[in-house]
Structure 1
């Protein structure tokens, strides 16, 4: 089999793949663990892949990217549905999201990693569960790598897709999308370009009520996005390949509906009785703008070793919605814009020292730069319009700017002890130098911190499709310098260095692929002795707090005759923290993950398919009595392949369940009552919607 070389993490489990793929997946080559091509049977960990067909199946029901992944990947929480993916953890911890190996995470915790690419340009999504240090900070719960589409040798290939989604609640309740790609090439050069456009209308809950905008983190109502992605791949010679890719992505609000507050000029002013009205306009609308370039080079025989080199640059602007802050004479509206530049270069050697011993080692260098400002809106105009009209009065700093330079060295060794047993171990040493700017009279400064992370694993292959593994691994997350510094002159940069918050994890897993079954399951236990917490004013503090998450993650698919299949996923997680009395108690519901399950039945032949899928989030209650109410939704998809393309009809939330999203319930805990009444932040789930999609390749 020819190796598919990708700097992105590639992993495979494909629990919802077509039955014909059940046997083929055994031989798939993936990139995981040591970031080099590896057979699935050699991976000591719970790994999953969502192929483009599976992803498009979910998208055809009207789901966005993070919603689709939440239903397909065990261990990943269900999606918040708005623009943010805050709290969409894996195994109760944070997840690192990458596109072709380039991290969408940053030291500043802006949770928009999935507001980054249109699913039309995605080849597959690859996931590894559990703590990992493969690509640096942010992967205490796992890694999700989005692999983009590439060109192939052959003539010009075109692909067109268009679709609409509506709940038939109102003329404004309509989403539509249009996408086009072209690819082709020869044995020396291959190219791909894809352009995808999506325009969303207003959204309504199951009761037929227009959903209040997410004024805290922004949502995707009246949102327009365009994703332009292209790449060129060069086969330089028998040993060398080069790939150059670029992306332009914009996702932003384009509507005229906003929240009207009737009591802004009352005495005293308050945020009660708000409603949604026409007439909104603002000098700063919610948006995500991203530019990225990515270069990957591979040499198959450099000093007798495989050599991989990657260089990349990512620029991102994240703008937020006008938000009401309480001041002495009422409420003042402000909206921030936060800018991140990330550049890096990564080099890796893969050496085969003997027939049964392999060694991977390398060096990563990155530089991250951040700055943020805040637009203040004219208070008199805002009060007179009930907050609908936001005209710029001034711009000031929002957070202290900073620069983080990182250097990391790593090595990973594998030993195939005998035909069944494989042992692996590795270490990553990462050092981060932080330089923080002065902020509102508070002096900045410099400091540094580091993290040393280990992993060790044993994998046993019984030779009959069954495998077991035992793995210990460490990952870490970074405290947010922008929110940690600049809030008080008492927290000086020089005397209060940041520290990496490390997570340790042990995992025992099993998988079986063969015949009519595809299964994978793992039990895990993760712990740490520090945590990042939000204060009432939403600044962050690093506290000495023992935290642990443990649970079960699994998926199964059974293939039957005549194209039928059935299966599901299950993630049971319990998050706990140690209190002042030294006893373990349920973790704060604002941070704890919610257990979830899915179940599906499906049928397909060469031209038609049908799928019915149930999604269930369990209830959660913490030690203080704060609750997150679970919910159950049902989705249905039908498709028909014809001579003029494929038609897909999907229904999301088939039973029209009325529910509050997990993010909406968390947001109410975060922002209310300090920033206003609870109803302003309790973001509701969308009611029943119908989607019709047509796609054609020619």
Structure 2
């Protein structure tokens, strides 16, 4: 019966999405007074849309394009034509009150049609660089792409994975341990400030960022040290929304999501209230998102365990609140003060423990959960000053304070989780408050400045600056007992980067960064553990201090062979600080051989070197990018779940990535993303790469996503996509199965707003989640079919 209801819901959703245009409001095409201030093009278009009662659908990214002022009597067509003149964009009325804004195809001289796109600027490099001067593998996901893909999921990892090859399939839980990029770690920034906690990896980052506050996403593949440690595989910079003076907007966004196997118990509503704008010299932006989720189900119709990943939790049976705010004041032209904040509150109330003896892991209805809930209580604050100091340069100084409290779920003892914390006064009884908590505080300052050196060479720019950071990490139980050594770390960094257009055909860039860390590890008493019939006695751990530093380099050359075809060759270095907290937790355990004295723990920062060759072609109706790369390092960070050990060995990873899009017509285009990655490492430290990297580093060697995007029945935009994830069979007795999942989403202008629907896993396919299975070493089922229906309206 539940499957019958699910199928009925699927077809009902498709029927709702195909409501004819007759429901749309009618807008007059006659002349009327139009007043639009000069400035941002997107703002001007929205003002025209408000004055004429139009609904805009934007294809592409209008960021950074300016328009002139309008003060005249004119029709909507005349106003749009005037604003878009020279922008590289045109418009098309698909109904009386719905307009598509899209890139133009022009013909000049003997040249055939060429798509003229606006300049896209990337800031994750610590400077404002045009994406045209960077490797073709760099991707910027704009607001229109984010909004369109939010139709089927509000998870930010889905948006990134559907736009960027090389980003691994997520494990559908809260953690990011398997969110690897090119087989390595990802550094996550929000407005240039790192969210990673390297001294004790919290593995809960992207899942806690509300997509409703995101303006754009910058992804720079490869190792990179420009923002400190952590970016050995890629840098992901989340740009939050900023208010615009003269464009005061209030937005209501609501959606509900359910699994079709049990619509009632899985019903999950979400509501966002947001606004942006400004007055005088002040700009403001804010949002509040609240959501509640029910049960989750797999493709067989079975309920998915709430904590299939042993303490890491999931999105089901949870309540989530995210509050975001940003304010700025322009003191004078080129000078602005700003302050932003984000508060996250998340709680998952788990009903039952997981049964790890089944294949795949299942809900153990005979064993009710008796631990504390999984919780997240975090707040982030960033303030700063943007400046234009003439010949000294333009840039910004940011001060930040991150305070995060991440409480894990309670996990039972099993062969995958052999040791549990015992009571301090009774080593034979499990501590009921023994769940782990990572409590971190991170604060500091970041300075970045672009100085023009035209006197030395026209177009030469020096980007320079430095960082000061302080980390305070506590690794405790819910009851307040230390399970890892308390740690403090001070970091200092200086960097310089030169970039210049050598000719109109060649852009060169290169730089160096020096980083130094002073780490202090405190003494603590490692608690006693129960491991089956055996008890592991408490032990005193002796702390200490360490200083380690890194000098990293990068260089790239981008060749513009024609206006349509670019290639790049790049070399970059990044590094990651070892997870010291994980070592100290295991200190003195019989299985791990980790010493009880920090002076005897030999952990070293892992420096990764990446070599990349990439190409990009932008044709009139065909666009493609491709890259091949190799990354190497002498000290990896591999976790052996079987022996509960961390190890550092020499590694090498190779891979390739490809994207492509083809315009079948003005209303329809098709595209694909493909990536291959594989790696080996030196297990016996003899210099030879004798073994394949474990599955938790590379869950799948190959991933392919194909999609078709089309406007049907006028202004209904629909997208159909499918993702194939290849199996991995390199590790004996730990084989990962392949998977194939199809999705459908749509957006439709309705009653002055946008209605949307999304269906993930259309065919309710039963499959094994490759990333989750790879992390723990047992089979974890992927999620079944879900249907999302939502509505967004701007006022």
**3-state SS in 2 of match to 1:36:** coil
Query: Is the 1:32–1:43 Cα contact (8 Å) retained in structure 2?
Result: no
Query: How far off is 1:570 after superposition?
Result: 0.6
Query: Is the 2:680–2:689 Cα contact (8 Å) retained in structure 1?
Result: no
Query: Is the 1:212–1:276 Cα contact (8 Å) retained in structure 2?
Result: no
Distance 1:438-1:535 versus aligned 2 partners, 3 A rule: farther
1:194 equivalenced with 2:287 (yes/no): yes
Q: Deviations along 1:65-91, whole A, 9 cap, x unmatched? A: 223322222111111111112111111
* Match of residue 467, structure 2, among 350, 364, 369: 364
More strand by share: 1
For 1:98 and 1:313, locate their aligned partners in 2 and report how far apart those are by CA, in whole Å. Answer: 13
For 1:352 and 1:408, locate their aligned partners in 2 and report how far apart those are by CA, in whole Å. Answer: 22
Q: Give the aligned CA root-mean-square deviation in angstroms.
A: 2.8
Query: How far off is 1:523 after superposition?
Result: 0.6
Query: Is the 1:551–1:574 Cα contact (8 Å) retained in structure 2?
Result: yes
The aligned runs of 1:279-358 (5 Å cut-off) are 280=369, 282=371, 284-325=372-413, 326=419, 334-354=434-454, 355-358=458-461
Q: Deviations along 1:150-196, whole A, 9 cap, x unmatched? A: 11112531101111111232321111111111221135111011011
Q: Partner of 1:657 in structure 2?
A: 765
Distance 1:61-1:307 versus aligned 2 partners, 3 A rule: closer
Query: How far off is 1:517 after superposition?
Result: 2.5
Q: Partner of 1:690 in structure 2?
A: 787
Q: Deviations along 1:482-533, whole A, 9 cap, x unmatched? A: 1123543635334546421000110000012242233211110001111123
Query: How far off is 1:54 after superposition?
Result: 2.1
Q: Partner of 1:164 in structure 2?
A: 256
Query: Is the 2:313–2:348 Cα contact (8 Å) retained in structure 1?
Result: no
Larger Rg: 2
Q: Deviations along 1:255-294, whole A, 9 cap, x unmatched? A: 5x2227899xxxxxxxx99613696454x21122210111
* Match of residue 671, structure 2, among 567, 575, 580: 567
Q: Partner of 1:547 in structure 2?
A: 651
* Match of residue 531, structure 1, among 631, 636, 655: 636
Distance 1:603-1:342 versus aligned 2 partners, 3 A rule: same
Normalised to the residue count of structure 2, the TM-score between the two structures is 0.77
**3-state SS in 2 of match to 1:27:** coil
**3-state SS in 2 of match to 1:371:** strand
1:276 equivalenced with 2:376 (yes/no): no
The aligned runs of 1:292-691 (5 Å cut-off) are 292-325=380-413, 326=419, 334-354=434-454, 355-375=458-478, 395-440=480-525, 441-485=540-584, 487-488=586-587, 490=595, 492-496=597-601, 498-536=603-641, 540-543=645-648, 545-580=649-684, 582-594=688-700, 595-604=702-711, 607-669=715-777, 678=778, 682-691=779-788
Corresponding residue pairs, total: 649
* Match of residue 331, structure 2, among 229, 236, 240: 236
Query: How far off is 1:469 after superposition?
Result: 0.5
Deviates most, 36-45 or 446-455? 36-45
Distance 1:273-1:197 versus aligned 2 partners, 3 A rule: closer
Q: Deviations along 1:552-595, whole A, 9 cap, x unmatched? A: 11211112323101001011111222354725432212222422
For 1:395 and 1:419, locate their aligned partners in 2 and report how far apart those are by CA, in whole Å. Answer: 61
Distance 1:692-1:579 versus aligned 2 partners, 3 A rule: same
For 2:343 and 2:297, locate their aligned partners in 1 and report how far apart those are by CA, in whole Å. Answer: 30
Distance 1:452-1:200 versus aligned 2 partners, 3 A rule: same
The aligned runs of 1:68-83 (5 Å cut-off) are 68-83=159-174
Deviates most, 47-56 or 310-319? 47-56
Distance 1:236-1:76 versus aligned 2 partners, 3 A rule: same
Q: Deviations along 1:92-135, whole A, 9 cap, x unmatched? A: 11110111111111111121111322111111111111111111
Query: Is the 1:425–1:455 Cα contact (8 Å) retained in structure 2?
Result: yes
Query: Is the 1:448–1:498 Cα contact (8 Å) retained in structure 2?
Result: no
Gaps of 5+ in 2: 1-37, 42-59, 62-88, 90-99, 105-113, 414-418, 421-426, 526-539, 589-594
